[in-house]
Amino acid sequence: MRYGVTVTKKIGGAVVRNRMKRRFRALLRELLPEHGLAGADHVLIGREGGVERDFAQLRTELSAALARASEGKGDPPRRRKLSAK
């Protein structure tokens, strides 16, 4: 199983982005062998607040997301920000 991790510059500087990526990679190494989808690519996208979030909570949320994916369900739609014109 392959995985990818992306964190944009909006999240913070290089130190913050790299910390988030390290946390994601640790979670993926732990959870993908047991809960990942065979033959699928897994992509995690860093969002605001991810660095401050408790590691156990991240683990729970990733487990739930992988369970939804294995059932054929996608993530719930994200609210789009209204752009000011």
Continuous segment of H or E residues that includes residue 21 = helix 14-35
Instruction: Please report whether residue 75 resides in a domain.
Output: no
pTM of the model: 0.77
Instruction: Please report whether residue 49 resides in a domain.
Output: yes
Instruction: Quote the domain boundaries for residue 51.
Output: 2-70
Q: What is the CATH number of the domain that holds 45?
A: 3.30.230.10
User: What pLDDT, on a 0 to 100 scale, did the predictor assign at position 73?
Assistant: 80
User: What pLDDT, on a 0 to 100 scale, did the predictor assign at position 13?
Assistant: 92
pLDDT tens over the chain, length 85 residues: 889 999 999 999 999 999 999 999 999 999 999 998 888 889 999 988 888 899 999 999 999 999 998 888 876 666 766 666 5
Q: Rounded to whole angstroms, what are the CA distances from 66 to 6, 34, 72? A: 18, 10, 10
User: What pLDDT, on a 0 to 100 scale, did the predictor assign at position 71?
Assistant: 86
User: What pLDDT, on a 0 to 100 scale, did the predictor assign at position 59?
Assistant: 94
In the chain, how many domains are there? 1
